[in-house]
Structure 1
Amino acid sequence: MAKAKKLTKGQARQIRANQSKKLRKSTETIQWQDDELGAPEQGVVISRFGQHADVESHDGEIFRCNLRRSISSLVCGDKVLWRKGKATQHSISGVIEAVHERDSVLSRPDVYDGVKPIAANISQILIVSSVLPAFNSDIIDRYLVAAEQTGITPVILLNKVDLLDDSNREVIEKQLNIYRDIGYQVTYVSNETGEGIAELSAQLSQHTSIFVGQSGVGKSTLTNTLMPELGLVTNIVSENSGLGQHTTTVARLYHFKQGGDLIDSPGIREFGLWHLSPEQVSNGFIEFSPYIGTCKFRDCKHQNDPGCALIAAKNDGKIYPERLVSFQKILASLGDNTLTSRFND
């Protein structure tokens, strides 16, 4: 039997569009009359599925709802005004009437659809890195830029610290000390030994949080540890490639018993920064702010330009060379929406 050809990105996109169209047609056949709906209620979007969403009511019940056509954007974590139907129709229990203004929104660029929101009303982004797969500060820097654009507090979380040894400890801790010196919180955890888990749990209880990071760094495993009742599926990092497999397919909001919420988001394989301006990227390197705008030339590219204030600050020991190199790499990738300008989740 001949081997089936792999779908191109365009073909896969068309299939998803056709599936979405069929789903939309099926749900649009449900036309709620006003007298078939109850009084308006406040709710939170637990998860979004195409043209409908699961909404949690004030008393903790979850109802699958249609969306009014006037709603242009709806994501996990949104606070909404909805109305429950007096009878369930084709598994649909109500209608989302309106979306409240968001306190924050985490978005990512998409080659086809522009900037797409991922989750709303988050107060803390936990950038998960690990000893295995290999620690990568460039990826952390890119997530920090994305976090600074949203105004959501980032926390750097080093997972699998039980794997620290003489071969990697000095290099990793040197880099993490740079982030501490800049002013970022750095936390160590290990699912194997339990190190830092209690402290992480206490911090999560104060926020609506989201884990981001490369494949295989242990985001789903951490979620399992913090919420063992969920039984989320996790995959072991490949011994050959050192890469992990994506285990989450739909963003969903969960509640911690001790307080606080967690949005478990799908793996973002191409979470790029190519849609940002150089100014927006520079704002993501918060320690550069005293020097941005003070270069000799207004169109300074911050590479080898004469009179570059950032290069002078690096030479004077005022900013870290590693951070400047990372900044230069990101600037060089702007406007390029190929894989060279993206980083893996």
Structure 2
Amino acid sequence: MSKRKLSRQQRWRIEKIQAERARRAEQLDARDADRLAAGEYGPEQPGRVIAHFGRTLDVGPEGEGDAVRCHLRANLEGLVTGDRVIWRAARDGSGVVVARAERDNVLERPDARGQLKPVAANIDQILIVFAVEPAPHANLIDRYLVAAEATGIAPVLVLNKIDLLPEAGGELRELLGRYEALGYPVVATTTARADGLTALLARLDGRTSVFVGQSGVGKSSLIDRLLPDEELRIGALSKDSRKGTHTTTTARLYRLPASDGGELIDSPGIREFGLVHLDEQQVTEGFIEFRDHLGRCRFRDCRHRHEPGCALLAAVERGEIHPERFASYRRIVDTLDES
């Protein structure tokens, strides 16, 4: 689809707006330099971006302390929640961010135009939440795992609402065993019991985490229990559709009071996590049990369908790849072809 051509007047207006924004940023930066030189700012110190609001952001000091509303130096762009920064406190209680530290990783999602946009940084684990009700499907879990693997951030499976499980565990326990055999951590939790978050809290200790998962699995309820002092709204679970809705609007980093140094980054842009930005090769590599077999097919352009000498098909026949996981992989790739 070709881009719409702009008229000369439209281009002039856009350039004028951009120039005005640049001028204001330069003036702000010049005032910062004057105030820094005058000693109005304290020494440089490390911090973490708690939330982002355009040219201003909340920065949490390292260790204990309340977040400080800071603005950015003009040469700093693209900061996101979770970024580690260097900042200086002002006498009036505000601050200025002067540098960004190197990122361990960044979590991105497509914007309305399909361009990848960073939404959070320096995350230790992605907690994929599913529940006894609505009943999870293996293909849906696989989709979230593939999306998580593409980020390079460790995924963890969280089974919520275990109070609804039958005593024997049923097919769901069997399904979880399949993922545990692949090396994925699995945590069981419920908000219906006082001790229902014990295993989850242990997993959150000392780590920065994000929750993802389909609507209705109880992400907001879990977060509400983990952050009892925060004003988090919980979407209603419809008795008819058994689906919930989230209402959080801004990516924000929370320090978990009941854990040892645990932090949580939450926003709808993170919770709604999909595969639309991935290609077939990335999906293939997202199935971790495939990796030892990739590159061993007879044909370089093998698509792992019916080609002779396909290393993945041979691994399925030998029992090294579970046939249901391979079938799930094929459904995901077929969906990419359709779109």
**83 and 206 in structure 1: CA distance in 2 versus 1, 3 angstrom threshold:** closer
SS in 2 for 1:262: strand
**72 and 40 in structure 1: CA distance in 2 versus 1, 3 angstrom threshold:** same
Quick one: distance in 2 between partners of 1:304 and 1:277? 20
SS in 1 for 2:59: strand
SS in 2 for 1:276: coil
The Cα offsets for residues 14-39 of structure 1, whole Å up to 9 and x where unpaired, read as: xxxxxxx9xx7998575533242413
> What is the aligned partner in structure 2 of residue 102 from structure 1?
103
The Cα offsets for residues 263-294 of structure 1, whole Å up to 9 and x where unpaired, read as: 12225575332333333222211111122112
The Cα offsets for residues 221-242 of structure 1, whole Å up to 9 and x where unpaired, read as: 1112222222421123111212
> What is the aligned partner in structure 2 of residue 285 from structure 1?
287
Single out whichever of 29-38 and 117-126 deviates more from structure 2.
29-38
Runs of 4+ in structure 1 over 4 Å off: 24-31, 267-270
Query: What is the Cα deviation at residue 61 of structure 1?
Result: 2.4
Q: What does 1:62-101 align with in structure 2 at a 5 Å threshold?
A: 62-87=67-92, 93-101=94-102
> What is the aligned partner in structure 2 of residue 131 from structure 1?
132
SS in 2 for 1:334: helix
**194 and 320 in structure 1: CA distance in 2 versus 1, 3 angstrom threshold:** farther
The Cα offsets for residues 91-150 of structure 1, whole Å up to 9 and x where unpaired, read as: xx2322221101122122334151111211111111111112221222221221222223
Quick one: distance in 2 between partners of 1:155 and 1:327? 19
Quick one: distance in 1 between partners of 2:186 and 2:116? 29
**113 and 97 in structure 1: CA distance in 2 versus 1, 3 angstrom threshold:** farther
SS in 1 for 2:223: helix
Q: Which amino acid aligns with 1:46?
A: I
Quick one: distance in 2 between partners of 1:263 and 1:284? 23
**335 and 101 in structure 1: CA distance in 2 versus 1, 3 angstrom threshold:** farther
Q: Which amino acid aligns with 1:34?
A: A
SS in 1 for 2:238: coil
Residues 213, 219 of structure 1: 8 Å contact kept: yes
Q: Which amino acid aligns with 1:207?
A: R
What runs of 5+ residues in structure 2 fail to find an aligned partner? 1-17
SS in 1 for 2:90: strand
Residues 247, 267 of structure 1: 8 Å contact kept: no
| Aligned: 1:236 with 2:236 | yes
The Cα offsets for residues 133-192 of structure 1, whole Å up to 9 and x where unpaired, read as: 2212222212212222233221100001112238x9422122211101111111111111
Quick one: distance in 2 between partners of 1:267 and 1:134? 23
> What is the aligned partner in structure 2 of residue 51 from structure 1?
55
> What is the aligned partner in structure 1 of residue 32 from structure 2?
33
Q: Which amino acid aligns with 1:210?
A: V
Quick one: distance in 1 between partners of 2:111 and 2:78? 15
TM-score relative to the length of structure 2: 0.83
Quick one: distance in 1 between partners of 2:251 and 2:285? 28
| Aligned: 1:272 with 2:277 | no
> What is the aligned partner in structure 1 of residue 149 from structure 2?
148
Quick one: distance in 2 between partners of 1:299 and 1:275? 21
Quick one: distance in 1 between partners of 2:226 and 2:207? 14
**324 and 333 in structure 1: CA distance in 2 versus 1, 3 angstrom threshold:** same
| Aligned: 1:204 with 2:204 | yes
Quick one: distance in 2 between partners of 1:275 and 1:226? 31
> What is the aligned partner in structure 2 of residue 12 from structure 1?
none
What runs of 5+ residues in structure 1 fail to find an aligned partner? 1-20, 339-345
Corresponding residue pairs, total: 312
| Aligned: 1:117 with 2:118 | yes
Residues 275, 335 of structure 1: 8 Å contact kept: no
Query: What is the Cα deviation at residue 335 of structure 1?
Result: 6.8
Aligned-pair identity (%): 48
Quick one: distance in 1 between partners of 2:77 and 2:139? 34
**161 and 26 in structure 1: CA distance in 2 versus 1, 3 angstrom threshold:** farther
Q: What does 1:5-16 align with in structure 2 at a 5 Å threshold?
A: none
**151 and 268 in structure 1: CA distance in 2 versus 1, 3 angstrom threshold:** closer
**109 and 36 in structure 1: CA distance in 2 versus 1, 3 angstrom threshold:** same
The Cα offsets for residues 239-274 of structure 1, whole Å up to 9 and x where unpaired, read as: 121211012111111112332111122255753323
- Specify which of 313, 329, 335 is matched with residue 333 of structure 1: 335
Residues 188, 195 of structure 1: 8 Å contact kept: no
Quick one: distance in 2 between partners of 1:26 and 1:325? 56
Residues 41, 83 of structure 1: 8 Å contact kept: yes
Residues 275, 334 of structure 1: 8 Å contact kept: no
**194 and 26 in structure 1: CA distance in 2 versus 1, 3 angstrom threshold:** farther
Q: Which amino acid aligns with 1:134?
A: A
SS in 2 for 1:211: strand
